[in-house]
Amino acid sequence: MEQVCAVVLAAGDGKRMHSARPKVLCEVLFSPMICWIADSLAECGIEDVCAVLGAGADQVRAAVPHFSWVEQKQRLGTGHAVMQAKAFLQQHLGGNCVVLYGDAPFVDAATLRNAYEEHIRQKAAVTLITAVLEDPTGYGRVIRDGEAVAKIVEQADADERTLQVREINAGAYWFSVDFLLQALDRLQPNNAQGEYYLTDVIGIAAAEGLRVCGYQAKNPQVAMGANDRKGLLRLNELARQAQLAYHLEQGVEIVCADGVIIAPGVTIGQDTVLLPGTILKGKTTIGKHCVIGPNTVIEDSVIGDGCRINACQIEQSELEENVKIGPFTHVRPNSRLKAGVKIGNFVEVKNSVVGEKTAVAHLTYVGDSDVGKNVNFGCGTVTVNFDGHGKYRTVIGDGCFIGCNSNLIAPVTIGDDSYIAAGSTITDEVPADALAIARARQVVKPGWAKARRLRLGPRKK
């Protein structure tokens, strides 16, 4: 694509969503709808994009910081929205521009490319993307003159005959920039809503004898948007089912799809099994022959081949091959579990490297630590990494045995093949091959409990 730009209409305030966010920031599969559009444009190589924003502009700009933007202070229709981008369009004279809605997330890159190719081949002033729906209620109807598009009639302005038309305007258009700028100056609010309709540009082009094309999308879902929470739920379910279908075709086994949600950026290897309640978010990569779930959330992480992850949360971390963790384990950001690590129930790992075949069985916190291979953590071990002001690291060598209920007070280093006696609080370096005992010697006072009862009387019940 050469000399192309985009205008994204994103001024909706989301009143029917009952949300404090602008409508385009409502999420489909954990990503704001406008980010779906941004990804499709980026895949097409369209880098120069102007968003037309309304209330909550700062929030939208934070979601798509690479977009330029203009403000639509009054809501006077789609044509009026594009008018706000005139200065942007004037910078692209002689080129072509795609105009699309920020709350229609299923307009994919392939559809945009195909429509553009048709636009160029036909030397059209306008090429609109259309779809054929079983129930077109609520959409503008495409009225053709032979193969060419004569006009678009909005639902509110349609007569009975027009309402029978099933081909609808999907809400995305390719324009010759020069023509679009001329046509915007001629728009009038001569309709039931008293608004400036962008769709009236079609009639202007037809009246001038210019070529108006309609590219019919292969996937009718490109027309779908969301005006309320029910519509947003419908988009999420359609997107979820599409992702499930894609991964099933790639050789992923989904025993039961209940609660299984896979974001578009996720990749999964063959013969991996996803159990109910598995949620995979962000840029996550899952290897082959894994079992993920049930009730597991993984975000922006890399999971190696052969891992077993049961009822866990993993964020921004890496698991090498054949790691087994859970249930009820939390792997927090910047952690790396090397090959063969075993993490049991009620364990938290944060900002740490855990070496090969190390075992952290249960009820343990490993934070800000560098742990060697073949280490065994006893139940209740804590790497004490925070003193109220700063975070410090614990270093544990290969082959160490950390006894139950031990506290390792960072910064501290435990040498290779050392033993930490159960119940110890370690504050100083432990050399290799040593035994560290840091607890008071046991004292037994015979008869003390009986004397106390006699002195204080029986216990209250």
> Model confidence at 191, in pLDDT bands (50, 70, 90)?
confident
Contact 313, 331 (CB under 8 A): yes
pTM: 0.89
**Residue 329 predicted with pLDDT over 90:** yes
**Has residue 337 got a pLDDT over 90?**
yes
The class of domain 251-436 in CATH terms is mainly beta
Residue 28 clears pLDDT 90, i.e. is over it? yes
4-223 is classed CATH 3.90.550.10 = yes
Cα distances (Å, whole numbers) of residue 292 to 29, 235, 277, 304, 312: 19, 25, 9, 12, 9
pLDDT of residue 282: 95
CB 22 within 8 A of CB 60: yes
Chain segment 61-76, per-residue pLDDT in tens: 999 999 999 999 888 9
**Pairing relationship of beta strands 382-384 and 407-409 according to DSSP bridges:** parallel
Per residue in 273-321, pLDDT (tens digit) is 999 999 999 999 999 999 999 999 999 999 999 999 999 999 999 999 9
Q: Which residue has the tokens 């639509």?
A: 72
87: pLDDT strictly greater than 80: yes
Q: Where are the domains of the chain?
A: 4-223, 251-436
pLDDT of residue 442: 85
Q: What integer pLDDT is reported at residue 457 of this predicted model?
A: 84
pLDDT tens per residue across span 199-208: 889 889 988 9
pLDDT for 60 beyond 90: yes
Q: In 3-state terms, what secondary structure has residue 165?
A: coil
Exposure of 108 in the CB half-sphere (CA atoms within 13 A): 11
pLDDT at 461 over 80: no
The confidence band for 193, taking pLDDT boundaries of 50, 70 and 90, is: confident
Q: How far is CA 222 from CA 105, 110, 373, 410, in A?
A: 7, 11, 51, 55
- Section 85-93 average pLDDT: 96
pLDDT at 212: 93
Q: Look at 93-107, 147-161, 349-363, 382-396 and tell me which has the smallest mean pLDDT.
A: 147-161
List beta partners, residue 253: 273
**Torsions phi, psi of 332, nearest 5?**
-90, 170
Taking residues 256-262, report their average pLDDT: 97
Give the chain's mean pLDDT: 94
At 63, the amino acid letter reads A
What positions carry a catalytic annotation? 362
Is 107's pLDDT higher than 80?
yes
What is the residue whose two structure tokens read 């993993």?
314
The answer to whether the bond into 327 is cis (omega within 30° of 0) is yes
Please, which pLDDT band fits residue 152 given cuts at 50, 70 and 90? confident
340 alpha carbon, distance to own chain's centre: 29
pLDDT at 460 over 80: no
